[in-house]
Amino acid sequence: MSAEDETLRVLNGIIDREIERHPHNRALIEAFRPVLVERKRLLGRVKAGGAEPFAWDETRFRGGVPLGAQQPLFREDDPWEEISLAMMAALAEGFPDLAADLGRLKNALREKKLDVYDYFKIGREEGKAFVAAWCASHAISAGALGLLLSQVSRVVLEKRAAGLAERLAKAAWEKGYCPCCGAFPSLSVIKEKLGERLLHCSGCGHDWRFSRVTCPACGLEGQKGMNFFYIEGQVQESAFTCDQCRRYLITLSRMSDLNDRDLDVSALGLVHLDWILQEKQFAPMTVTDWNVF
pLDDT at 222: 85
pLDDT at 259: 60
Strand 207-210 to 226-230 pairing: unpaired
The span from the CA of 58 to the CA of 26, in Å, is 44
CA distance 233 to 284: 23
Spatial distance between the Cα atoms of 60 and 63, rounded to a whole number of angstroms: 5
List beta partners, residue 208: 199
What is the number of other CB atoms lying within 10 angstroms of the CB of residue 38?
22
CA distances from 113 to 101, 138, 293 (A): 15, 9, 33
CA-CA-CA-CA dihedral for 218, 220, 221, 222, to nearest 10: -130
Query: What pTM did the predictor assign?
Result: 0.94
pLDDT by 10s per residue, the chain, length 293: 898 999 999 999 999 999 999 999 999 999 999 999 999 999 999 998 876 667 889 999 999 999 999 999 999 999 999 999 999 999 999 999 999 999 999 999 999 988 999 999 887 777 888 889 889 988 999 999 999 999 999 999 999 999 999 889 888 899 999 999 999 999 999 987 656 899 999 999 999 999 988 999 999 998 888 999 988 888 889 999 999 999 999 999 876 655 678 999 999 999 999 999 999 999 999 999 999 87
Tell me which amino acid residue 278 is: Q
For position 50, what pLDDT does the model report? 75
Give the pLDDT of residue 126: 79
pLDDT of residue 54: 77
Rounded-to-integer distance, Cα 231 and Cα 65, Å: 37
* Separation of alpha carbons 132 and 140, rounded Å: 10
Amino acid at 85: L
CA 264 to CA 272: how far, in whole Å? 14
pLDDT reported for residue 56: 86
Is the CB of residue 242 less than 8 Å from the CB of residue 220?
A: yes
Strand partners, 238: 230, 251
Instruction: Output the pLDDT for position 31.
Output: 98
Strands 247-255 and 283-284: parallel
Q: What is the pLDDT of residue 249?
A: 98
